[in-house]
């Protein structure tokens, strides 16, 4: 069944994570995504291994599902001409070059808009198209630091192991890819009504500040910069990880009723009646003494015992799984999140399915991430009408 974006063709001029993540999401939704890569090398992440599946790194496989790969050297004039011809035939271009980096190739928004007025052109940079940092390169790790995320991630400086910590996944890149997808979909909706394309701009730093969410508002409303709380929550208590007799669990009490139920299970019902702990604002105010009490309670029983008893009365809680345990979880397996795709080199490669579930146009993962240049001949013949001799001549010149 065709996906909801089966009528959309995307030209991807991006590499690494944020741009490819956006393009992969569009591919999941059914768009025909043509990924332009450097001859002989391709996307940087093709070399970011081990581990490997065939000759492809796991990193590359994580963000290039459902695409077609062509190789074009657009430092050569003939290569630039090929990309411009492709841009005239597509609906969307996604690029993540430095500000102004594609102007010299005639592949910037203004140049491509002149030949395709309905084009939706999405640029992803570290700091945006203007401002004092616009010319700088931006990387997820440094943006997590600059954008405040590392100031609220990790243990407090006063505790053992304290200090700033980055998130274990490049979340700024991933969030930027998702915001880019949303931006592209909005621009396509506008174009459907008006026929007018537009330039969609994403900056990693903008996105990181935006996804500070309640922590940003805690500062803007309260006037005090939030600090690292380890696994604790700044606005809710108890909402953190606790040690048990044989490991750790997460206790995520979201309201006063849940706290009362927890106290019953813990054998301390009087805590829910104590004015210091009866309401969430009171628990936040008396966080230190309450958490000390709860730590002593939680460490007396096993994780399995706590999880079973708390789940039975509707108190939110959960284990802390490693990634192997995640994919072994019966619910994750029932949701069919791990899939295997046929691959011309490796036989099959694993993939993590899109979390989007449609009732009318279900997402179907059929195409593995491409090998380098796998579809060059097919795309140039299909989209541009080049014959085998034309393609051979371009290959002889090193253009493709």
DSSP per-residue letters across 208-228: HHHTTHHHHHHHHHH-S----
Evaluate whether 67 touches 12 at the Cβ level (below 8 Å).
yes
**Mean pLDDT of the 35-63 span:** 94
The tokens describing 235, both together, are 């606005």
Q: Work out whether strand 239-243 and strand 248-252 pair parallel, antiparallel, or are unpaired.
A: antiparallel
Q: What local confidence, expressed as pLDDT, does residue 180 receive? A: 98
The tokens describing 218, both together, are 């805690």
Question: Which residue, 74, 157, 76, 80, is CA-closest to 115?
Answer: 80
Query: Which bin fits 369, alpha (ψ -120 to 50), beta or left (φ > 0)?
Result: beta
Q: Is 173 a catalytic residue?
A: yes
Whole-model pTM over 0.85: yes
DSSP state at residue 370: P
What percentage of the chain reaches a pLDDT higher than 70?
Answer: 100
**Integer Cα distance of 57 and 48 in angstroms:** 6
Q: Which of the residues 173, 274, 377, 390 is marked catalytic?
A: 173
pLDDT tens-digit map of 155-197: 998 888 899 999 999 999 999 999 999 999 999 999 999 999 9
Based on the number of CB atoms within 10 Å of its own CB, is 234 exposed (0-12), middle (13-18) or buried (19 or more)? middle
Radius of gyration, alpha carbons of the chain: 25
């Amino acid at each position: 069944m065709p996906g909801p974006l089966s009528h959309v063709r995307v030209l991807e001029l991006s590499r690494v994570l944020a741009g490819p993540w956006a393009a992969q999401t569009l591919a999941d939704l059914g768009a025909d995504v043509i990924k332009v890569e450097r001859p002989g090398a391709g996307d940087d992440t093709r070399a970011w291994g081990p581990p490997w599946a065939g000759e492809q790194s796991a990193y590359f496989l994580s963000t290039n599902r459902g695409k077609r790969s062509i190789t074009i050297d657009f430092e050569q004039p003939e290569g630039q001409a090929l990309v411009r011809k492709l841009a005239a035939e597509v609906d969307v271009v996604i690029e993540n070059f430095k500000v102004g980096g594609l102007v010299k190739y005639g592949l910037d928004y203004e140049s491509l808009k002149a030949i395709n007025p309905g084009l939706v052109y999405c640029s992803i940079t570290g700091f945006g198209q203007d401002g004092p940092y616009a010319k700088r390169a931006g990387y997820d790790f440094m943006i997590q630091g600059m954008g405040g995320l590392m100031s609220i991630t990790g243990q407090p400086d006063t505790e053992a192991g304290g200090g700033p910590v980055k998130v274990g996944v490049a979340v700024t890149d991933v969030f930027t890819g998702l915001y880019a997808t949303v931006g592209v979909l909005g621009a396509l909706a506008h174009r459907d009504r008006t026929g007018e394309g537009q330039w969609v701009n994403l900056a990693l730093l903008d996105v990181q500040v935006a996804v500070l969410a309640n922590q940003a508002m805690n500062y803007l409303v309260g006037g005090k910069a939030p600090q690292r709380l380890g696994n604790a929550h700044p606005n809710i208590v108890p909402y953190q990880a606790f040690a048990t007799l044989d490991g750790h669990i997460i206790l995520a009490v979201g309201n006063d009723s849940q706290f009362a139920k927890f106290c019953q299970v813990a054998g301390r019902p009087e805590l829910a009646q104590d004015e210091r702990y009866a309401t969430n604002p009171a628990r936040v105010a008396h966080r230190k003494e309450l958490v000390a009490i709860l730590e002593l309670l939680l460490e007396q029983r096993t994780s399995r015992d706590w999880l079973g008893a708390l789940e039975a009365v509707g108190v939110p809680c959960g284990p802390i799984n490693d990634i192997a345990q995640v994919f072994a979880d019966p619910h994750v397996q029932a949701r069919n999140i791990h899939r295997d795709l046929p691959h011309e080199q490796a036989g099959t490669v694993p993939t993590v399915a899109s979390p989007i579930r449609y009732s009318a146009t279900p997402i179907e993962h059929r195409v593995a991430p491409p090998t380098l240049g796998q579809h060059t001949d097919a795309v140039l013949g299909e989209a541009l009408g080049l014959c085998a001799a034309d393609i051979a001549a371009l290959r002889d010149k090193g253009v493709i």
